[in-house]
Structures are given as C-alpha cells and as structure tokens.
Structure 1
Amino acid sequence: MALKTLKDLDLKGKKVLMRADFNVPLKNGSITDDTRIQAALPTIKYILEQGGALILMSHLGRPKDGPTPEFSLKPVAERLGELLGDSVAMAPDCIGAEVEKLAAELAPGKVLLLENVRFYKEETKNDPDFAGKLAALGDVYVNDAFGTAHRAHASTEGVAKLLPSGAGYLIEKEVEAFAPLLSNPQKPMVAVIGGAKVSSKIGVLETLLPNCASLIIGGGMTYTFLKAQGYQIGNSLLEEDYLDTAKQLLQKAEAAGVEVILPVDHVVAAEFSETAAAEPVDSTDVPEGKIGMDVGPKTLDKIRPVIAGAKTVIWNGPMGVFEFKNFEAGTKAVAEMIADCGGITIVGGGDSVAATNQFNLADKMSHVSTGGGASLEFLEGRTLPGIAALEA
C-alpha cells in the first residue's frame, strides 16, 4: 500500500490543515492520559520546522447536540502548548468567518487548534459543504489520525479530496506495521486473539489464518469455542449464535495445518466482580455455576514455547478480565512473553494497548497501535476510508 506522505507535500509558507486524533480521556476538565497528543508530535514538529502554519482539527468524545463545554478541545490546546514550548491558539469554532480570519493571519511556525469538529453533525455525515468549509482554511491537508481512519467523515476523508494530501508519520507507521501481517509477514507468525466476543473478532481470525502458524485464543470468546467442542463452560460468556462459526473456524484451521491453542485450564469466579475470589480449575471444563475469568498456568505453559519461537506476533485482545487485579495474571504473562520473544511484535486494539500500558511493556513492543476500531478493521482486511484517500 503506497501512500502520499508529508514528504510529498510542499509545506513552506503554506497553511497546513491537519487532522489529528486528540480524543483524550478527561476528568473534571483535565487530561488524564496525553498519549494521543504525544503520538502526533513528530508530525506537528516536522510541519512547523518546514515553515508551515499549522491548523489542527480533531474530535473529542461524542457530543450529541452541538457545542458542549465538556467536549471542548481547550484542555488539548493547553497541553499541546506545554509540550511544544509555545502557545497554541484556540479557535472558538471549526468553521465560520472568525475562524477563517484566525487561519488567514496564522504565521509560519505557529499553531491554531480548531474546536471539536463533531459539534457539527455534518462531520460524521461527511457533508461536502462542511468539508469544503474546513478545506478552505488550508492549502494542503495532512491526516495523522489513525484512530479515526476507518470513518468516512468530513475531516478524515472529505477534505482529502479537496486539497493536496498526505499521511502524517503516525499513519505511515501504523500502515507499515499492519500491512505486512495481511500479505507477507516474517514467519512463523503467531496471532494472539482475545476479548469478549467471537462476533467482534471472527473477521480478524479468518483474515490472519492463512499466514499464521498458530492461533492463540483467549478471553471471553474462548468459551464459545470450548462449548462448540463439547466442553462444559458453566456460566461463562457464550454466544449461542456463533457456535457453528466457531466450529467452522476450527475446521478451517485444521485443514490449513494451523495450530489453535485454547485454554486447557482456567481461573474462575462465582460472580463477575472485581472482589470475587479467584479459583483455579485444573480442567478444560468449567464447573457448573462458575464463570471463566482468566487462563490457567497449564494454558500458559502451552502458549510459552509457541510465542518464543515466533518471528512475528500480532496481539489483539486480552486473555482474561485483566482490569480486575485477581484475574490479570494470564494477560500479564502473555504480554510479557510477547515483549520478550525477540520477533516483530504488533499490539492492536484498545484493550491490548491498555494492558500493555498497565504492565509497562509498551517500550518492549515493536509497535503499539493508537487505533482500536481502526486497527481491528485493518486486520480484517477492510478498506479504511481515511487511508484510502491518501493512496498514491
């Protein structure tokens, strides 16, 4: 996949309209995690160094009825200014005469942040008139918001059709990490796929299967697979409608010679609760009345040599309810195995990224994605509109 990038654009003296992903978590008006702002810095700094006047746009949260103070990007402007060591001007809106004046007067090397584009319903509808008003603010367009690249919105796809466009460093890095997994990964490749539901991950499992040596399946989705094989799952999560789908995937894997590793023991609880006692079960069957919450030590022993021998590992989804301290051990152990395997390690999906950060392992991974839904859809082999619009 060849993309037009920053390096293909003439930025000197230009008004550079850039879509970033500043959808950061806020508490009482303060940013609690600035990872997404930090991730945009390389592209921002390059544009400023090249003599561009930078106009940034982003969404934040899901405002329903126009401007909402709690979803204002003002805290982002303040934090970005701190990180850049220079003030970032905050626009009162993302379109309109006052915004046009601020953009026109913006000097090279300076930054203007537009207010939340989702204060307008036209943004998510990819309204051409709205896209035109945004595009009118800039001379060139840069998209560095991988987290929203799976959405055909005005600021992610519409504007790209109206201005000379290119991908920022973050999108370039994400595509470089994910594209080989679907076509030509370093082998053997192992996919570690977890999470709650088969329905949300079946597309990823089916797409990765042809290039995998082994599929390691964990999380709540495992119990649908185990039930499909005739095991008892107690009160564990089950998607009845996906039992046949699970059987078919196991059959496809067997036919393709792909090893599928499912839990052979568990850590269970009497109820789904943070304070529930962790009970080890030395069996593939889950006892009646119990809920599977994590994989057990025998399962981890099966997984360990498989990951250790991999040249490429893609991890999407936790092994258990890692958010609860009593049930984090399986996810933590697998995350450590991946970090230490010595191969190319790609972490995609919000929960996997959260776990990687929780266990302080991000620096040991080859790539940790910034896009939850976007990385999932990329791994399913779907076209991402925000990226397709940047193809050379």
Structure 2
Amino acid sequence: MGWKTLDDMDVDGKIVLVRVDVNVPMDDGIVTDATRIEKIVPTVRDIVQAGGTPVLLAHYGRPKGKVVPEMSLEAILPTLEKHLGMRVIFARDCVGDAARTAIEQAREGEVVLLENTRFHAGEEANDPALALAFADLGDMYVNDAFSAAHRAHASTEGVARLLPSAAGRLMAAELKALDAALGTPKRPVVAVVGGAKVSTKLELLGNLVTKVDHLVIGGGMANTFLVAQGIEVGKSLAERDMADTARSILDKAKASGCTVHLPVDIVVAREFKAGAASETVDVNACPGDAMILDAGPSTVAALREVFEASATLIWNGPLGAFEIEPFDAATNAAARIAAEQTQAGKLISVAGGGDTVAALNKAGAAAQFTYISTAGGAFLEWMEGKDLPGVTALNA
C-alpha cells in the first residue's frame, strides 16, 4: 500500500488537520459509549508529543447541511478532554474565522475541535470550495476515520488531495489488519458471512468466493441457499426469489475453488422469542410449521475443523438469531473456537460490522480476535472489493 503514516510526517510546529470519527451514542447530551473517542487518543497524543497541533474534523448525526444545535460536537467536549487528558478548544464552525481564531488560541499541548462538518452542505457533496477551506486551516492532513473512508466527502477525500496526507494510528492499524486478511493473507482463508438477507450482501459474497478458500454462510441468508438446493425450510426467513442468484454464487465458488459451508443441522422453533421451545434436527428435516433460528452442534463441530485447518479468518455477521437465547449458541461457540485458535497463534482473525461486534462481545470472544473493526459500511465495502475514497486519496 502506498499510504504514509504519522511516522513518515514531520509534524513539529505544524497544524495537523485530523479527520476522526467521534459519532458516539448520546443520551440527553451525555456520551453513553466513548469507544470511538478512546480509539483516536493514540493519534492525537502522538501528534502533540511530536510538537504538532491537532485540529479535529468530525461529523455527528445527519444534519443534512444545516446547523442543528442538537447535533453540535460541543456536547462531546467533556468526554474528549477526559480521555485525551488535554485541554480542547472548541470552534463554532469548521471553516472560516471561527475556526482560525480557535486554532490561533491553541497553545502547546492543546487540541482544537471544529464544529460538525455536516453543518455545511458541501461536506457530503465533496465540494472543492469546502475542501479548500479546510486545507487553508492547516499544514498537513491525517485521516484516522476508517469508518468514514467509504464516503467521498470534503473532509475525507477532498482535503486529502490538497495537503500532505497520512493515515493516523487507528486507520493504519485497520488497513494493516485488512491487508493481512484479504490483501496478502496467509492461506487457507475462511470467511464467515451471516445476516438476514442474501440481497444485501450480493457483492460481498460474489467477491469473497474469488478470494477465500472457505466461505461459511449463516443466519437467515443460509436459508436462501438451502432453498436453492431444494431443501425445505418451513416458515423460516428466506428470499425464495433469490434462489437463482444463490445457485450462481455457488457455481462461481466451485469455479474459483472455494468451498461453501452451509448448516448440516439446525435449531428450529415455532415462535421467535427468548426461551422458546426448540429442537435440533438434520438440515433436511425442518418441520413445515417451524422456523430455523440457529445452526446446530454438528455444524459447529464442522466449523471447528475448518477453523483449525485455516490460517486466516474474516467474519461478518452472526450464524443465528444471536440476540436471544438459546439461538445464540452456534455464534457463541464458533466465536470462542476462533478466539482459542487466535490465542494459540494458529489463526489471524479479523471481524467487523455492527452486529458482528455485538455478537462477538456477547460471546466474550472479541478481545481475543486479532483485530475488530468498528467500521460498518467501510468494512463491508472493503470486503466487497471496492476502493474506499478516503483511503485512495491518501495514495494521491
């Protein structure tokens, strides 16, 4: 990869524009989960220690180009200062005099936070004039927001082409992990893809079968593949109109030498609720009045063999209805197997996507994975094989 990192930049005495993702959940103006703020600390700290002044560019919510007071970044100031351990000066605009004045006020060891970039319509339109206005504020640009890298916005793509640019610590770690998983991976590579619908992950599946050695399909989308093979799935969620598409993906996998793994046994129930009466049956024996809500223990045992024979794992999506018990069993068990293999130094494991992170946390396995991406859309588009504008711009 051609992108530079902070280690390639001399930031001493420089004003460094840093694109971060601090789009954190809030309740009544109070940050309820500071994970994203915690993750930008290494980049900000390293810039300050090297003598630079970090000026943070960020968005919050979807104000659609208008000033929405409830979406002001000023609300995160206390939490930001707490985690950075530094004074943070807030600018009431992200460009113009307000931004310049805040930057001029910053002393050594202080940070500047600019107001929500999406208060300007030109942000999401990647307006060259707004990108230039950003560039006029600083000497160099660092992108530390992989989660926003799939968007060609003025603060993620436009300004990166106007200043000397580099990847921040979080962005660099993400790109390194992703390259290890799909760019130049240790083989064999296994991908686990779960979720409700095949239709939402067509490009993902189509790309993966040409890149990995094993593809494990779980969740509701597995039902569609079962239907495509003539297996009855009762009242289960399934996109029957996607059967031809599922068969074409299976054909593409076969031609590419990728082995597709579907459930061999299933956990079924008559109602979808916590603690519902359930039974485990062979994949060919789903009762007509029941629905498939999880994969069974024989499927998990088969996955153990696949994981143990693999060197790299990419994971996106649960294997069943992991939100409620007992239909979280297969996801939990498979996640723990992957975690064990990773901790034993036998597997490089990379996972991402909102449901995936939640499922791995619930299984108590996330901390043992090699890398967990907090990015949703960007992680998916990378798995789909798409170029990410915010990353491509760093190579310019």
Q: Settle same-fold status: TM greater than 0.5.
A: yes
Identity score, percent: 48
Q: Judging changes above 3 Å, is the alpha-carbon distance between structure 1 residues 295 and 327 closer, same or farther for their aligned structure 2 residues?
A: same
In 2: Cα distance, 1:79 partner to 1:249 partner: 46
Q: Judging changes above 3 Å, is the alpha-carbon distance between structure 1 residues 145 and 65 closer, same or farther for their aligned structure 2 residues?
A: closer
Could you tell me which residue of structure 2 aligns to residue 282 of structure 1?
Answer: 281
2:187–2:310 contact (8 Å) kept in structure 1: yes
Measured against aligned partners, the alpha-carbon deviations of 1:245-275 in whole angstroms (never above 9, x if no partner) come to: 2101112223334322111222233344x44
Could you tell me which residue of structure 2 aligns to residue 247 of structure 1?
Answer: 247
Where 2:306 maps in the other structure, the secondary structure is helix
In 2: Cα distance, 1:381 partner to 1:65 partner: 30
Could you tell me which residue of structure 2 aligns to residue 312 of structure 1?
Answer: 312
Measured against aligned partners, the alpha-carbon deviations of 1:306-328 in whole angstroms (never above 9, x if no partner) come to: 11221111111111121223321
Moved more, 274-283 or 173-182: 274-283
Could you tell me which residue of structure 2 aligns to residue 263 of structure 1?
Answer: 263
In 1: Cα distance, 2:234 partner to 2:66 partner: 46
Moved more, 325-334 or 207-216: 207-216
Pairwise CA RMSD? 1.8
2:181–2:313 contact (8 Å) kept in structure 1: no
Could you tell me which residue of structure 1 aligns to residue 334 of structure 2?
Answer: 334
Q: Judging changes above 3 Å, is the alpha-carbon distance between structure 1 residues 74 and 280 closer, same or farther for their aligned structure 2 residues?
A: farther
Report how far residue 72 of structure 1 moved.
2.2
Where 1:288 maps in the other structure, the secondary structure is coil
Alignment of 1:345-364 (within 5 A): 345-364=349-368
Q: Judging changes above 3 Å, is the alpha-carbon distance between structure 1 residues 235 and 385 closer, same or farther for their aligned structure 2 residues?
A: same
1:185–1:211 contact (8 Å) kept in structure 2: no
In 2: Cα distance, 1:125 partner to 1:350 partner: 26
Moved more, 380-389 or 347-356: 347-356
Could you tell me which residue of structure 2 aligns to residue 109 of structure 1?
Answer: 109
Moved more, 144-153 or 278-287: 278-287
Could you tell me which residue of structure 2 aligns to residue 147 of structure 1?
Answer: 147
Measured against aligned partners, the alpha-carbon deviations of 1:284-309 in whole angstroms (never above 9, x if no partner) come to: 14322322221111211211111122
Report how far residue 65 of structure 1 moved.
6.0
Q: Judging changes above 3 Å, is the alpha-carbon distance between structure 1 residues 361 and 276 closer, same or farther for their aligned structure 2 residues?
A: closer
Where 1:156 maps in the other structure, the secondary structure is helix
Where 1:221 maps in the other structure, the secondary structure is helix
In 2: Cα distance, 1:329 partner to 1:281 partner: 12
Report how far residue 188 of structure 1 moved.
1.4
Q: Does 1:33 align with 2:33?
A: yes
Could you tell me which residue of structure 2 aligns to residue 224 of structure 1?
Answer: 224
Measured against aligned partners, the alpha-carbon deviations of 1:25-46 in whole angstroms (never above 9, x if no partner) come to: 1122222221111111111111
Report how far residue 278 of structure 1 moved.
4.5
Q: Judging changes above 3 Å, is the alpha-carbon distance between structure 1 residues 183 and 14 closer, same or farther for their aligned structure 2 residues?
A: closer
Where 2:203 maps in the other structure, the secondary structure is helix
In 2: Cα distance, 1:334 partner to 1:161 partner: 43
In 2: Cα distance, 1:293 partner to 1:144 partner: 38
Report how far residue 346 of structure 1 moved.
0.6
1:182–1:381 contact (8 Å) kept in structure 2: no
In 1: Cα distance, 2:236 partner to 2:26 partner: 33
Could you tell me which residue of structure 1 aligns to residue 93 of structure 2?
Answer: 93
1:267–1:296 contact (8 Å) kept in structure 2: yes
Measured against aligned partners, the alpha-carbon deviations of 1:329-382 in whole angstroms (never above 9, x if no partner) come to: 111111111111131011122211122223332221111112111111111111
Where 1:97 maps in the other structure, the secondary structure is helix
Moved more, 143-152 or 109-118: 109-118
Paired AA for residue 381 in structure 2? E
1:182–1:207 contact (8 Å) kept in structure 2: no
In 2: Cα distance, 1:262 partner to 1:200 partner: 18
In 1: Cα distance, 2:327 partner to 2:277 partner: 7
Long gaps (5+) in structure 2: none
Alignment of 1:1-392 (within 5 A): 1-64=1-64, 66-272=66-272, 274-275=273-274, 277-285=276-284, 286-341=286-341, 342-391=346-395
Paired AA for residue 113 in structure 2? L
Q: Judging changes above 3 Å, is the alpha-carbon distance between structure 1 residues 26 and 295 closer, same or farther for their aligned structure 2 residues?
A: same
Report how far residue 383 of structure 1 moved.
0.6
Measured against aligned partners, the alpha-carbon deviations of 1:148-174 in whole angstroms (never above 9, x if no partner) come to: 000000100011111111111111111
Paired AA for residue 45 in structure 2? K
In 1: Cα distance, 2:388 partner to 2:277 partner: 41
1:278–1:326 contact (8 Å) kept in structure 2: no
Moved more, 233-242 or 338-347: 233-242
2:225–2:243 contact (8 Å) kept in structure 1: yes
1:314–1:347 contact (8 Å) kept in structure 2: yes
1:320–1:331 contact (8 Å) kept in structure 2: yes
Q: Judging changes above 3 Å, is the alpha-carbon distance between structure 1 residues 360 and 31 closer, same or farther for their aligned structure 2 residues?
A: farther
In 2: Cα distance, 1:380 partner to 1:177 partner: 16
Paired AA for residue 279 in structure 1? S
In 1: Cα distance, 2:47 partner to 2:205 partner: 38
Paired AA for residue 114 in structure 2? L
Moved over 4 A (4+): none
1:94–1:114 contact (8 Å) kept in structure 2: yes
Long gaps (5+) in structure 1: none
